Chains A and B, each alone.
Chain A
Amino acid sequence: MKQFTIPAGMRDRILDECVSRRELQQAIEERFARWGYEEVITPTIEFYKTYEAGFDNINEADMYKFFDAQGRILMLRADMTIPIARLAATKFKDADVPLRFRYCASVFKVHEDLSGLKNEISDCGVELIGVSQTCGDLEILMTALDALSVVKDRSWVLEIGNINFFREACRYFAITKEDSEELAELIDDKSITSLKEKLAALQLNEDGKQFFLQLPWLSGDRTILQRAKQYCFCKELLTILQDLDALADDLQALGCERIQFDLGKTKNLNYYTGIVFEAYVEGVGKRVLSGGRYDTLLEKYGRKLPAVGFSIKLDALSEIWKAKEPKKGKVIVYHPKDRVAAMKKAQELTKEGRVRLVVDTDAQGMRIKEE
């Protein structure tokens, strides 16, 4: 017998799954649209070099790659920010800013077999291009909070950090790129023991050691911003805390709850250039939203503009999304000889709601009943 299966990390979505997913997507997209974001659809396949230009250290093994007829390397898009950065810097190179784009698309990454991770992920997100830090950050966070408010009856939290807090400290101590990447990973994973070992090997002074050791623990409500002050050793670090504090003030003035801070968010060091944020929902083990500021990305594609954005992980969030009960429809049972009359009736009834046709050779004429 022939066997037909799907590749590892892929999945079929059927019936109810599609309904709840579609509903969730529409609810989110509607919020995005109301904040003035316009939809863009970019190709599923991009040139590998487009991604290579965007990321400083692209993890080659994570990408689905293949060749075109000229031998150029193609890949399935691994995220949506790079294609949109490319788009904004080329098709919109003379357009007035700000640009507000939204998208909902599958992105692809190769994960190890049997790890339970998906290789095709649906991202639903926005990019705000051309508005710098203070105003742009606040606007994007308000959009994120509004989008997250589609989650009902479950607790969730939006956590904000600023990657420059870590980056400035590395610069101050002149830590090499390689070492800072390793440190960033350990801090982001809150891998305390290995972090201690790494710091011992780096031979920093006591201030520096304490600073990096504390970073993983500087997470919680806004009081951590105060607590973090004691570990700062230069004015750049204090400025970052002040900016975050001002942001917390703004959010508080707007009545936003469920905001937390984490200064130990250090992932994607070569990509983000300011705030970074993630959201978690009770009952979902993975983050459901992630984003941040990336002010140096667009210039790599030819137009220097600040930008900030985020995406919602549709797959993760749809796990807990309860679809609305669908409205009951009508069923038309008919004998094959009455097919024209049945179709005519169906045509009429579909204007009002759902119709299901049932052929029954034993039926006497045509019968309409509730579903």
Chain B
Amino acid sequence: MLSIALTKGRLEKQSVAMFEQCGYGIEELKNKGRQLVFPDTKKEQRYFLVKAADCVTYVVHGVADVGFVGKDTLMEADGRYYELMDLGIGKCGFIVAGLPNQSPFDKRGHVKIGSKYPNVAREYFKRRNMDVEVIKIEGSVELAPILGLCDGIVDIMETGTTLRENGLVVYERICEISARVIVNRASFKLKRTEILSLLEDLQKVRDRDVETNESR
């Protein structure tokens, strides 16, 4: 029996669609009521929907064998797990943005960076050998530089519309992000066959999607 933790929200629909293409029995997952755990009707596996950061926690503790979660969450979280596959969905990037002509990289004095991802921000500026103060912000990060709380932000960007609408510009693209399959280290040893076959199914679906996108 494999337990699979799926991230609620943005990634949910796409991950469920992938399972459907794998031919798994996900009726319950599609017509979810108040239920929290959804057994697969064809395979020895079950799914549950959790918040992104919890997905990592469940996998690290081995309560879930497999998790579907964004690279952004993995970069922010701490913990040991195997990161075995790029699902190719939920694509976006981490960026550093700020007000036009006020690049945080050019500022000489004390630099303040607002972010929902303080660990990612801290790590990035450490690599660039810059001392910055990171301020944790829970939502609408774009607001922070406009109101003068900080000199720049580290955030995820999909299309860039929100940033543009708020008059912010991108100064640096930190890295690319997409949804990943993570696996508990012990589960990988003890349920190797099931996990490898799941990965194989997903890979086929992913590669087919890539092909159809390219031929379009």
Query: How far, in whole Å, are A289 and B79 apart by their CA atoms in the complex?
Result: 18
CB of B185 within 8 A of CB of A191, answer: no
Known A157-B190, A285-B62; contact A192-B84, beta-carbon cutoff 8 A = yes
Chain B hits for A112, CB < 8 A = 78
In the assembled complex, the CB of A188 is this many whole angstroms from the nearest CB of chain B, namely: 9
In B74-107, the 8 Å CB interface with A consists of 78-86
In B121-161, the 8 Å CB interface with A consists of none
In the assembled complex, the CB of B45 is this many whole angstroms from the nearest CB of chain A, namely: 16
Tell me, yes or no, whether B186 is within 8 Å of chain A by CB: yes
Query: Which chain A residue lies CB-closest to B191?
Result: A282
Highest count of chain A CB atoms <10 Å: which of B79, B183, B185, B188: B185
In the assembled complex, the CB of B83 is this many whole angstroms from the nearest CB of chain A, namely: 4
Query: How far, in whole Å, are A112 and B60 apart by their CA atoms in the complex?
Result: 14
In A144-189, the 8 Å CB interface with B consists of 155-157, 159, 189
CB of A193 within 8 A of CB of B80, answer: no
Tell me, yes or no, whether A260 is within 8 Å of chain B by CB: yes
Q: Which of B186, B188, B192 contacts A286 (CB 8 A)?
A: B186
Q: Which of B71, B84, B86 contacts A190 (CB 8 A)?
A: B84
Query: How far, in whole Å, are A126 and B60 apart by their CA atoms in the complex?
Result: 27
What is the interface residue range for chain B against chain A?
Answer: 20 to 34
In the assembled complex, the CB of B114 is this many whole angstroms from the nearest CB of chain A, namely: 21
Query: How far, in whole Å, are A369 and B114 apart by their CA atoms in the complex?
Result: 69
Chain A hits for B84, CB < 8 A = 190, 192, 216
Tell me, yes or no, whether B116 is within 8 Å of chain A by CB: no
Chain B hits for A281, CB < 8 A = 186
In B146-197, the 8 Å CB interface with A consists of 178, 180, 183-190, 192
Query: How far, in whole Å, are A284 and B78 apart by their CA atoms in the complex?
Result: 19
CB of B61 within 8 A of CB of A116, answer: yes
Tell me, yes or no, whether A26 is within 8 Å of chain B by CB: no
Tell me, yes or no, whether B63 is within 8 Å of chain A by CB: yes
Q: Which of B71, B81, B192 contacts A189 (CB 8 A)?
A: B81
Query: How far, in whole Å, are A116 and B82 apart by their CA atoms in the complex?
Result: 18
Q: Which of A115, A194, A219, A284 contacts B62 (CB 8 A)?
A: A284
Tell me, yes or no, whether A287 is within 8 Å of chain B by CB: yes
Tell me, yes or no, whether B73 is within 8 Å of chain A by CB: no
Tell me, yes or no, whether A98 is within 8 Å of chain B by CB: no
Known A116-B60, A116-B61, A193-B180; contact A284-B83, beta-carbon cutoff 8 A = no
CB of A286 within 8 A of CB of B62, answer: yes
Q: Which of A115, A116, A280, A282 contacts B185 (CB 8 A)?
A: A280
CB of B83 within 8 A of CB of A194, answer: yes
Query: How far, in whole Å, are A155 and B193 apart by their CA atoms in the complex?
Result: 15
Chain B hits for A353, CB < 8 A = none
Query: How far, in whole Å, are A201 and B79 apart by their CA atoms in the complex?
Result: 25
Query: How far, in whole Å, are A192 and B83 apart by their CA atoms in the complex?
Result: 6
Query: How far, in whole Å, are A204 and B173 apart by their CA atoms in the complex?
Result: 25
Q: Which of B61, B78, B86 contacts A285 (CB 8 A)?
A: B61
CB of B86 within 8 A of CB of A193, answer: yes
CB of A280 within 8 A of CB of B189, answer: yes
CB of B83 within 8 A of CB of A285, answer: no
In B23-79, the 8 Å CB interface with A consists of 57, 60-63, 71, 78-79
Query: Which chain A residue lies CB-closest to B186?
Result: A280
Query: Which chain A residue lies CB-closest to B181?
Result: A192
CB of B83 within 8 A of CB of A191, answer: yes
In the assembled complex, the CB of B63 is this many whole angstroms from the nearest CB of chain A, namely: 7
Query: How far, in whole Å, are A220 and B190 apart by their CA atoms in the complex?
Result: 10
Query: How far, in whole Å, are A159 and B82 apart by their CA atoms in the complex?
Result: 16
Chain A hits for B192, CB < 8 A = 219-220
In the assembled complex, the CB of B116 is this many whole angstroms from the nearest CB of chain A, namely: 17
Query: How far, in whole Å, are A44 and B53 apart by their CA atoms in the complex?
Result: 35
CB of A157 within 8 A of CB of B189, answer: yes
CB of A192 within 8 A of CB of B190, answer: no
CB of B186 within 8 A of CB of A285, answer: yes
CB of B86 within 8 A of CB of A159, answer: no
Q: Which of B57, B71, B178, B190 contacts A155 (CB 8 A)?
A: B190
In the assembled complex, the CB of A167 is this many whole angstroms from the nearest CB of chain B, namely: 21
Q: Which of B63, B85, B188 contacts A192 (CB 8 A)?
A: B85
CB of B186 within 8 A of CB of A284, answer: yes
Top 5 A-B residue pairs of the complex, sorted by shortest distance between their CB atoms: A285-B62, A190-B82, A280-B186, A191-B83, A193-B86
| A–B complex contacts, Cβ < 8 Å, 17 sampled | A116-B60, A157-B189, A157-B190, A189-B80, A189-B81, A190-B82, A190-B83, A190-B84, A190-B183, A193-B83, A193-B85, A193-B86, A193-B180, A220-B192, A260-B189, A281-B186, A285-B186
User: A155-B190, A286-B185 known; 14 other A-B pairs, CB under 8 Å?
Assistant: A115-B78, A156-B190, A159-B189, A191-B82, A192-B85, A193-B71, A193-B83, A194-B83, A216-B84, A219-B188, A220-B192, A282-B190, A285-B184, A287-B185
